[in-house]
Amino acid sequence: MTPAALFIDFDGTISPVDISNTFFSSFAADDAKTAVDEWRRGLISSTECLRRELDAYHGDLEDLRDFARSQPIDWGFGRLREECRTKGIDVIVVSDGLDFYIEPFLEKHGVSVAFHANNLKISGGRRELVFPFYNEACGTCANCKSSHVERAKQEGKFVIYVGDGLSDKCAVSRADMVFAKGDLREYCDHHGIPHHAFENLGQVADHIRSSDLGCSP
């Protein structure tokens, strides 16, 4: 069988809560909410949105990490990872959020998984945003998820994509199989992109189990 890779979004997908936008909209100055609204309307890029959210928050960013630790994980993620492990399917998290809160979230839930995200570094009280996966040719997303998908396809892999939001739009047009909910489901419906609708990751796990995908390890 053809080797496969499953790319999965973080905020709103693995974590049912969009951790970054929820935190900054709740605890930062009003410009954080304005930035999220402008991003959702396509007026600014996600790099600009993240910068403005950080600039609008004047508290201790350890509170963001604590907030992430307090958030739930989709109950089906463990089952999905197990089904993928059984079939030899690589699982890679791709997020347009920040490693700063993704790492403590995963640690809290006892999950060890590869992920690609934007970086937030704090040194001597200074905050530094780094975007290692930014694609200037597009410029819409801070982390170009479609680039990760394309690399896997160039390696000859069958690509499965699971997501819920606006930052997943480019990637799904390049994937071989798509699972979508929320805004991403509406986008796929509107643009005629074949997809499987889902509400929780247990449903994705069920589909993976019954599909002839991947290669046994």
pLDDT at residue 125 in the model: 78
Choose among 191, 184, 149, 152: nearest CA to 167.
Answer: 184
Burial 141-166 (b: 16+ CB within 10 A, else e): bbbbbbbbbeebeeeebbbbbbbbbb
pLDDT above 60: residue 216:
no
pLDDT above 60: residue 64:
yes
Give the pairing type, strands 114-123 and 126-130. Answer: antiparallel
43, 75, 83, 148, 164 from 134: Cα distances, Å? 18, 31, 31, 11, 20
pLDDT at residue 133 in the model: 84
Which domains occur in the chain, in start order?
4-17+73-210 (3.40.50.1000), 19-69 (no CATH)
Give the pairing type, strands 177-180 and 114-123. Answer: unpaired
pLDDT at residue 139 in the model: 60
Per-residue pLDDT reduced to its tens digit, 156-201: 999 999 999 888 998 999 999 999 999 999 999 999 999 999 999 9
**Long-range residue pairs from 39-42, CB within 8 A, at least 24 positions apart, any chain:** 39/166, 40/166, 42/140
Mean pLDDT of the chain: 92
- Dist CA 81 CA 102 (whole Å): 17
pLDDT at residue 132 in the model: 86
